[in-house]
């Protein structure tokens, strides 16, 4: 009987995934909740495993992949528990004949929920108002007390109208919002009609939108997609929402735009140098900050973990992982 495959799980994940993995292999797992292994620790532990189940906060670079490919047993698959996989050097993995998989689709609705929640919270100044009340400063209703931006009937600009961007547009329809979108190419007419989307250029979208929501993957082409020039095109009353990836926005340029009143506010789930945040953002009342929780519902995270495990199970059984991203 052949030896059972060795599987390394780099961070504590929802429980359902472990039963799938234990059924097909020998599992070594980081069971300390909230603990992320350093690159050095990961480099020490990963070689000698057939499969690696990792998360977006793990750096799987060419050096690590090379060590894992030359070890015995050699690494066969990196299963990322995320839709994005910019934490993995996919080209290096492909050169080493290591498959890479992700967990697309299942977190789209949950992420769109959080993006719209950030839009509402920033527009209506909810965290600021709550802090005010909790501090005992509320002495009664006032006609100008925490007046915020109107959401219904306003214009939403969506940059990146993939699954999540389209679902953001679906939520906007309930608020009778006009929705513009910018993509590298136009969507099919039936999708535009279904989500009431109007295509436009990036500059046009930025200058016309009351809210700009980012839903692009991170790549060299989207690094600092929103920088000083783009922020200058936005309305002084506009709000930027980012649930995509932190480096899509030039964070220092965003700080300057917020400080100068070039734009009115921002709702951010991700940060350029995560987990570090530009210190100036932390003290701004017109910014809503949350710690990368777009997919953080119990149901979604459990399904993500299970899907990552299912990719490993498929490979062990001689099948192509259903969510493999490289050939």
Global pTM value: 0.90
pLDDT band for position 66 (cuts 50, 70, 90): very high
Q: Beginning with the edge strand found earlier in the chain, give each strand of the sheet holding 211-214 in spatial order.
A: 197-199, 178-182, 155-159, 211-214, 239-242, 265-268, 287-289
- Residue-wise pLDDT for 275-317, tens only, equals 999 999 999 999 999 999 999 999 999 999 999 999 999 999 9
Which CATH fold would you assign to the domain 6-104+299-316?
Answer: Rossmann fold (3.40.50)
pLDDT band for position 31 (cuts 50, 70, 90): very high
Which CATH fold would you assign to the domain 108-289?
Answer: Rossmann fold (3.40.50)
Catalytic residues: 245, 274, 292
- Same fold yes or no, 6-104+299-316 and 108-289: yes
Please compute the mean of the pLDDT values over residues 8-22 and round it to a whole number. 96
Largest CA distance in the chain: 77
Render 226-282 in DSSP notation, one character per residue: B-HHHHHHS-TT-EEEE-S-GGGB-HHHHHHHHHHTSSSEEEES--TBTTB--HHHH
- Residue-wise pLDDT for 217-267, tens only, equals 999 999 999 999 999 999 999 999 999 999 999 999 999 999 999 999 999
pLDDT (0 to 100) of residue 1: 36
pLDDT more than 70, % of the chain: 99
pLDDT (0 to 100) of residue 80: 98
What span, in angstroms and rounded, lies between the C-alpha atoms of 101 and 323? 5
What is the residue extent of each domain of the chain? 6-104+299-316, 108-289
Across all residues in the chain, what is the average pLDDT?
A: 96
Task: Label the pairing between strands 155-159 and 211-214.
Answer: parallel
pLDDT (0 to 100) of residue 181: 98
What span, in angstroms and rounded, lies between the C-alpha atoms of 275 and 167? 27
What span, in angstroms and rounded, lies between the C-alpha atoms of 235 and 233? 7
| Residue 70 confidence (pLDDT) above 90 | yes
| Residue 86 confidence (pLDDT) above 70 | yes
| Residue 8 confidence (pLDDT) above 50 | yes
| Residue 2 confidence (pLDDT) above 80 | no
Please compute the mean of the pLDDT values over residues 90-97 and round it to a whole number. 97
pLDDT (0 to 100) of residue 327: 82
> For 297, left (φ over 0), alpha (ψ -120 to 50), or beta?
beta
Please compute the mean of the pLDDT values over residues 172-178 and round it to a whole number. 98
**With b meaning 16 or more CB within 10 Å and e meaning fewer, what string describes 306-315?**
bbbbbbbbbb
Please compute the mean of the pLDDT values over residues 9-38 and round it to a whole number. 96
């Amino acid at each position: 009987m052949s030896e059972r495959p060795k599987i390394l799980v780099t961070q504590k994940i929802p429980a359902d995934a472990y039963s799938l993995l234990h059924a097909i292999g020998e599992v070594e797992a980081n069971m300390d909740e909230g603990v992320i292994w350093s690159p050095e620790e990961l480099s020490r532990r990963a070689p000698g495993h057939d499969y690696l189940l990792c998360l977006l906060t793990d750096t799987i670079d060419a050096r690590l992949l090379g060590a894992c490919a030359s070890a015995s047993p050699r690494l066969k698959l990196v299963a990322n528990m995320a839709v994005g996989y910019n934490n993995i050097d996919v080209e290096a993995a492909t050169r080493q004949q290591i498959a890479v998989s992700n967990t697309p689709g299942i977190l789209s609705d949950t992420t769109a929920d959080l993006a719209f929640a950030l839009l509402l919270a920033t527009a209506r100044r909810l965290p600021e108002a709550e802090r005010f009340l909790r501090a005992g400063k509320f002495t009664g209703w006032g006609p100008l007390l925490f007046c915020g931006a109107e959401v219904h009937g306003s214009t939403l600009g969506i940059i990146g109208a993939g699954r999540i961007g389209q679902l953001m547009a679906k939520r906007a329809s309930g608020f009778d919002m006009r929705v513009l979108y910018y993509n590298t190419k136009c969507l099919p007419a039936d999708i535009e009609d279904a989500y009431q989307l109007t295509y436009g250029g990036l500059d046009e979208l930025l200058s016309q939108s009351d809210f700009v929501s980012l839903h692009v993957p991170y790549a060299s082409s989207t690094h600092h997609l929103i920088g000083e020039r783009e922020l200058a095109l936005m309305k002084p009353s506009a709000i930027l929402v980012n649930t995509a990836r932190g480096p899509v926005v030039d964070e220092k340029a965003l700080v300057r735009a917020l400080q100068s009143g070039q734009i009115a506010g921002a709702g951010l789930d991700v940060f350029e140098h995560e987990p570090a945040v530009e210190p100036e953002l932390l003290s701004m009342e017109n910014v809503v900050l949350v710690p990368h929780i777009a997919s953080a519902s119990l149901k979604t995270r459990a399904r993500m973990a299970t899907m990552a495990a299912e990719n490993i199970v498929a490979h062990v059984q001689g099948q192509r992982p259903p969510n493999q991203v490289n050939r």
